[in-house]
Amino acid sequence: MSSHKEAPAISNDPVADNTDVYAFVSPDKPDTVTLIANFSPFEDPAGGPNFDEFGDDVLYEIHIDNNGDARPEISYQFRFRTVNTIPDTFLYNVGTIESITSKNWNRRQFATVTRLDVKSGSSQQLGQDLPCPPCNIGPLSTPDYADLAEQAIHALPGGRTVFTGQRAEGFYVDIGAIFDLGDLRPFQNLHIGSQMPAAPGVNGTKAANVQSIALRVPKSDLTANGQTPTDPTDPHATIGVYASASRQRSRVFETDGTVVSTGPFVQVSRLGNPLVNEVLIPIPQKDLFNAQVPVNDQQFAAHVAHPELAQLLPVLYPGVFPNLAALNTSGKPRADLLAILLTGIPAGIVPGFQNTTGTVQADLLRLNMAIPPTMRNPSNLGLIGMDPAGFPNGRRVFDDVTTIELRAIAGATYALVDKTFTPDKAAGAITQGLTSSNTDVSAGNTVHYLRTFPYLGTPHSGYLNPNDNTPAADLNATPVGGPGTGRGGSRHSQDTAMLVSGALLTAGALAGGAALLKRRTATAPVGAPVGADPSPDDATDAP
Amino acid sequence: MADQSSRRSFLRHASLGSTALGATILLPATLGNAASARARATHDAAANHVDAVRHEGPLMAYVKNARTGEIAVMVGEREVVRHDPQLAAQLSRIAAGATP
C-alpha cells in the first residue's frame, strides 16, 4: 500500500518499487506544482551498514500527459551515480556528517535531472551530479539532519526545485489489519470472521522511511500551451501524472560481483492513482500492469468497473452493505470508479469541479492545476470531504487515500453517476481509524509533514528505530501538519454527503452510517477513533 | 568531547589511507584504456567499427526464438532486432555444446 510491494516481481526489487506518487499545487508557492515519486517500500531506518539509496541502474521518471491522450508529453528523468570516497572501509561514514560535502561521508549519491519533451525527442539537462543527502543514521553520524537535507534542495533552471533523498514515509495505512482478510480495526467486531472487539487503527508505516524524488515546477512548465491556468474549466488546466521506474533489458551477473546491464530501458514499475494495482488488479496481471503504459489501461478497466473488493465487503461485513450487495448483483459497471481512476471527473458531476482528461481510460493521477490550494481546514478526505484541492484531484501528502478509496469502492460515490442509488449507511463512515477527524493532517500525530518543499517529513533516525516514532530533534514544531490548505476541509459527514449525492439524501445516509457504526462499536475501547466526525471545534488551521 | 574528537580523527586518518589505496587499484584500468586506444589506431575500417561497438561496453545477443531466427542484440541503451535463422541456428549449436 498504496503501491508498496504491490506486485510479485517488483516486490523483489525495492529500489525500483514506486510506492507513492503525489501531485499538488504547492501551498506555499501556488504558481507551482509539486510532483513527488517515492520508492523503497517499508524502508527500515536502521538498515545499515548499507543504508537505502536509489538504484544507479534504474531510470526514474515522472511523466506528464497534458493533452488527454494518456501518453506523456513531458517526462522528468532522474538518474543516480553512487561513489565510495573512502574505499577501504565497511562504514557508510567514518565520522559525523556535518555537511553534504563532509569528508567523513563515504558512500554518496548524486542525481542528474533531465526534462524530456517526448514528442520532439529533445531534452534539457536541468541539473547534473546534484548531491543527495545521506540517510538519517543517528545522533552521532547525522546530528543535524534537517540542515543536511536542506543542503540537498537544489534550484534548477526555469524556477524549478528538486530534492532526491530519504524522507519519512508520508503514507499511512493499517496494513497489518487490512490484509488480514479485509479487517478494519475500528469495526472489526462486525467482520464475519472476527471475534475481536473494535479497536483503534495502527499506522503500519509510521516508522518507515522512503527514497523520495520531489520536483517543484512552474505550472506553465506542465501545460500544453505553456500558460498558467487560472480557470478550473479550462481544458488545459488538468494534467495526468504517473511515475515509473525502468531497468535495462539485460542484466548479467559477473563472478567478480559486478552486474552488467545492456539494452533499452523497460518499465518495471509504475504508479498513478494509489491502490489501483495493489487492490484492483488480480495477482496474475500485476506484473503485466507494471510493465504497461497507461494508454493501454483499457485492458484493466473491467477490474475497476467490477472491483473484487466491492464484492467482498458485503460478505466480510454481513448486513452492513446491503445496497452495495444489490449493486454488485445488478452487474452494473462502477462508472464512478472508472471516472475517478481512469478518466477523471467530468464537469457537471461535482458543482464547479472537473479534472477529466477525456475519454481515454488510463491510470493517471489527475490534477486540475487551476484549483488553488486549500489554505485553511484542509480535509484529509479530499474531494469527498469537499476539499477540491485534494485526492482525487491530484494527491497531497496527507490525503487519507485508503479511506477515500475504500469508501468509494463501498459505494459512497456511486450516487454521483446514479441518482437512484442510495449508498449504504456504513459506506460513508468507513475509516481506518488512523485520523482523529477529517481535518487531522498528521494521522493521529504519527506522521510529521513539513510546511514547505519537499513536504514529506524528516526521515526517522536509524538509531531511534525500531518502534520509536519520536521525530527527529530538528523538527522544531511537531507536528507541523500538512502543507497548508484550506478553505476547504469540511465537516466530514455533511459535506461528504453533499458531494456524493448533491442532495441531503446521502447526507442522511452518511450520518446514519456513522451513527450505526458508532452504535455497533460501542464496545470499542475508550478513545477508539470510530468514524471520522470531528467536533465543531477541532478544525485545524493551516500552519 | 575530547574522546569523540580523537575517535573521529582516528577514523579520518584511516580513511585517508584508503583513498590512496583506491587510486592505486584504478591505475591498471587506466593503462588498459590507453593500450586499447593505441590498438584502435592501427586497425582497418572494419576493426574500427568493431572497436566502436566495444567502446560502448558489452554486447548481449538474445536469441528469443531460434526457430524464427529472432535475435535481439543489446548494447549500451540500444537494442537491434534481426531475423537471422542461420546465426540463430549457429548460436543454438554453440549452446548445445556442438561445433558451430
Q: Which residues have CB under 8 Å from A412's CB, separation 6+?
A: A384, A423, A427, A428, A430, A496, A500, A510
Total Cβ atoms within 10 A of residue B29: 8
Q: Name the residue of chain B whose CA is nearest to A93's CA.
A: B11
- Counted residue by residue, chain A has a size of 543
Question: What predicted TM-score, i.e. pTM, was given to this entire model?
Answer: 0.83
What are the start-end ranges of the H helices in A280-359? 283-291, 301-305, 308-316, 322-330, 335-338
Cα gap A482→A183, rounded to integer Å: 28
Q: Name the residue of chain B whose CA is nearest to A251's CA.
A: B60
What local confidence, expressed as pLDDT, does residue A1 receive? 60
What local confidence, expressed as pLDDT, does residue B55 receive? 53
Cα gap A377→B19, rounded to integer Å: 54
Complex ipTM more than 0.90, yes or no: no
Residues 36-55 of B with CB under 8 A from A: none
Q: Which of A95, A104, A264 shows the shortest C-beta gap to B79?
A: A264
Which residues in chain A are contacts of B62 at CB distance < 8 A? Answer: 249-250
Chain A and chain B share a number of CB contacts under 8 A equal to 69
What local confidence, expressed as pLDDT, does residue A125 receive? 98
Backbone angles phi, psi at A92, to 5 degrees: -65, -35
User: How close A335 comes to chain B (CA, Å)?
Assistant: 41
CB-count burial class (<10 Å; 0-12, 13-18, 19+) for A224: middle
**Span A260-318, pLDDT tens digits:** 999 999 999 999 999 999 999 999 999 999 999 999 999 999 999 999 999 999 999 99
CB-count burial class (<10 Å; 0-12, 13-18, 19+) for A473: middle
Is B21 close to A88, i.e. CB distance below 8 A? yes
**Interface residue B21 vs chain A (CB under 8 A):** yes
Backbone angles phi, psi at A22, to 5 degrees: -125, 145
Backbone angles phi, psi at B38, to 5 degrees: -65, -40
Using a CB–CB cut-off of 8 Å, the residues of A that contact B are 84-89, 91, 94-96, 103-104, 106, 248-250, 252, 260, 262-265
Q: Which residues have CB under 8 Å from B67's CB, separation 6+?
A: B85
| Beta partners for residue A350, in sequence order | A353
**Span B3-59, pLDDT tens digits:** 443 444 334 433 333 332 222 222 222 223 333 333 333 334 444 455 555 556 899
DSSP A353: B
Which residues in chain B are contacts of A123 at CB distance < 8 A? Answer: none
User: How close A95 comes to chain B (CA, Å)?
Assistant: 5
CA A201, A206, A210, A214 torsion-angle sign: positive
Cα gap A146→A95, rounded to integer Å: 18
- Counted residue by residue, chain B has a size of 100
Cα gap A131→A153, rounded to integer Å: 9
Q: Which of B12, B75, B76 shows the shortest C-beta gap to A103?
A: B12
CA A179, A495, A508, A197 torsion-angle sign: positive
Cα gap A172→A401, rounded to integer Å: 9
Q: Which residue has the higher pLDDT, A329 or B98?
A: A329
Q: Which amino acid is at A380?
A: N
Cα gap A341→A339, rounded to integer Å: 6
Q: Which residue has cell 481512469?
A: A342
What local confidence, expressed as pLDDT, does residue B57 receive? 81
Cα gap A467→A206, rounded to integer Å: 9
User: How close B98 comes to chain A (CA, Å)?
Assistant: 24
What local confidence, expressed as pLDDT, does residue A445 receive? 87
Q: What is the DSSP string of A453-508?
A: TT-SPPPPPGGG-SS--PPPTT-SSS---SS-B-S----HHHHHHHHHHSSHHHHH
Cα gap A109→A133, rounded to integer Å: 8
The H or E element containing residue A366 is strand A365-368
Is A248 close to B74, i.e. CB distance below 8 A? yes
Which residues in chain A are contacts of B29 at CB distance < 8 A? Answer: none
Is B77 close to A252, i.e. CB distance below 8 A? no
Of A515, A345, A339, A322, nearest in space to A422 by CA: A322
Which residues in chain A are contacts of B79 at CB distance < 8 A? Answer: 249, 263-264
What local confidence, expressed as pLDDT, does residue B98 receive? 76
Q: What is the DSSP string of A18-78?
A: EEEEEEEE-TTSTTEEEEEEEEEEEE-TT--SS-----TTEEEEEEEE-SSSSS-SEEEEE
| Beta partners for residue A161, in sequence order | A155, A216
What local confidence, expressed as pLDDT, does residue B100 receive? 65
**Interface residue B28 vs chain A (CB under 8 A):** no
DSSP helix/strand/coil, A333 = coil
Which residues in chain A are contacts of B17 at CB distance < 8 A? Answer: 88
- Cell readout for B73 is 542484440
- Cell readout for A39 is 520508492
Is B18 close to A89, i.e. CB distance below 8 A? yes
**Interface residue B17 vs chain A (CB under 8 A):** yes
Which residues in chain B are contacts of A106 at CB distance < 8 A? Answer: 15
Q: Which regions in chain A score pLDDT beneath 50?
A: 472-543
Cα gap A100→B26, rounded to integer Å: 25
Rg, Å, chain B Cα set: 24
Is B74 close to A85, i.e. CB distance below 8 A? no
Euclidean distance between the first and the last CA atom of chain B, given in angstroms as a whole number:
71
